[in-house]
Structure 1
Amino acid sequence: MEERLNMRGQLILSLSDRSGQMIHQQHPKNRIVLSGRRLVAQLFGGVESGVPAPKKITQMAVGTDGTDPNDDQTNLLAERSRKAIAQISYEETLEAGVKRLQASITAEFNFEEANGDDPLREAAILNEDGVMYNRVVFEPVTKTNAFKLTLLWRVVF
């Protein structure tokens, strides 16, 4: 049996009103960029002498640029706001007879956060040094103080 590590992520983006009612949800496609793959590889195997050790992911960011993601991007293209990760949990899953580990990562942009006239179109997970793990582009969402934005990423290893 040949085993492969097919890292992948799925974002669930939700908007809720002040009563807690979910009014909009999207499931856009995720792109793990090269800097994210390097981060995982360096966490696994270490780094060369003189290179700072990579740090864990700690934040999510949203922005307004809808340009398609590519492997060489290292930042959101038009970042509006960053938020600390509020929750992370781990769960074992079974796919085609192979045990996988799923990390579920959540951040919430409250009613007064990440608002603006230009719609949000992009999001990312970053480590505490600002290294971007992934980038996703989604259908435009106009964030106002009437809504809370929740980002839930499920990343499978």
Structure 2
Amino acid sequence: MISSTHDIQGKLTLQRLDPNGNVLGEQVTHNSITTQGRKLVSDLFKFNILTEENQEDKIKRISQIHVGRSKAAFKPDQTGLQDEVGKTPIQSVEYVATGNERIQLRLVGELGMDDANDKLQEAGLFTEDETPIMYNRVIFDTITKSPEFKLKLIWELTF
């Protein structure tokens, strides 16, 4: 019998960059997927997703990375960050070779020198809607974002 598992995994790499793009420091942490995020993936299997009559059923695309100040423990039913202070659009999406049957996507966004200058400890991937859906959330060691550096957020999702 052939079987496989479908455990979606993700990790966020945070890189502090100087004005010239040189890496000043880096940290990596793994994320947790929300109940809404799992539903978003399961919606891919709905029969009527792209029919004209059911436009409200269209699957929303993950297009933003939000950041915040909270280190509160993850709860699967969370719908947003605990203490959001900023966001950035996802600037690039690319497939990454894994060398096995898994598929990996790399999503990259960047907070500029003047963006979200605060104590950052959480991040999440979101859709861009009136009511955004938070796909996943991660908490990380405190980064005190300042105008002295940019923060590159590299999210890798493995399916």
TM beyond 0.5 = yes
SS of 1:62 mapped into structure 2: strand
Determine the structure 2 residue equivalent to 1:74.
79
Q: Give the Å deviation of 1:4.
A: 0.9
Report the Cα offset of residue 47 of structure 1: 6.7
Does the 8 Å contact 1:121/1:140 carry over to 2?
Answer: yes
- Following TM superposition, by how much is the alpha carbon of 1:32 offset from its aligned partner in structure 2, in angstroms? 1.0
Give TM-score, length-normalised by structure 2: 0.88
Task: Please give the residue correspondences for 1:1-157 in structure 2 after superposition, counting only pairs within 5 Å.
Answer: 1-45=2-46, 52-95=57-100, 99-116=101-118, 119-129=119-129, 130-157=132-159
Identity %: 34
1:10 Cα shift? 0.9
CA–CA distance in 1 between the matches of 2:12 and 2:87? 16
For residue 23 of structure 1, what is the amino acid of its counterpart?
Answer: L
Cα distance in 1 for partners of 2:115, 2:48 equals 36
The answer for unaligned runs of 5 or more in structure 1 is none
Deviation at 1:51, TM superposition (A): 5.3
Gaps of 5+ in 2: none
Q: Which amino acid aligns with 2:134?
A: M
Runs of 4+ in structure 1 off by over 2 angstroms are 43-54, 91-95
Query: Secondary structure of the residue that 2:98 maps to in structure 1?
Result: strand
Partner amino acid, structure 2, of 1:81: G
Task: Report how many residues are paired.
Answer: 152
